[in-house]
Amino acid sequence: MCRLFDFSSKLLLPFTLSILLAPAAIASESTELQALQAEVAELRARVERLERDLTDGIAINPARKVQPQPGGWNNPKNWKLLAKGMEGERVEEILGAPQRTKTIKKHVLWYYGDGKVTFYLRRLKSFEKPRF
């Protein structure tokens, strides 16, 4: 009988520990589940945004050439097609020829109404949309 008691006491300790540690494991899994649910919600929102941008004609993949809308710089959708790093030729395809230009050292500024496109070393650095 002493031998049986030793055997059961050896099993009793791991069993007791598993009962005591179970709430911590469940809480950890619950926290992980909440984090995964939050990530899924963020990804769903991102997909929704990307799908909305795609239907609005905004360039999702800069490698894919999206056609500008009629109206050149007067069309707000065309300003959404601009992306940093574009060459001046592509910007001109989208917005049309600038109304005036200005060069300051390595920067070239193109003006469209009260909007402005800034190039640095012939690449689009920034832009400010005109008021529509």
In the chain the first and final C-alpha atoms are separated, in Å, by 92
Global confidence as pTM: 0.52
Specify whether 48 is located in the same domain as 16. Answer: yes
Count of all residues that appear for the chain in the document: 132
Specify whether 44 is located in the same domain as 76. Answer: no
Domain range for 20 is: 1-56
Give percent above pLDDT 70 in the chain: 82
- Give per-residue pLDDT as tens, 115-130: 999 999 999 999 999 9
Within a domain: 66: no
Six-digit token string for 123: 């690449």
Q: For the ranges 6-15, 72-81, 106-115, 120-129, which has the lowest average pLDDT?
A: 6-15
Within a domain: 24: yes
Specify whether 1 is located in the same domain as 52. Answer: yes
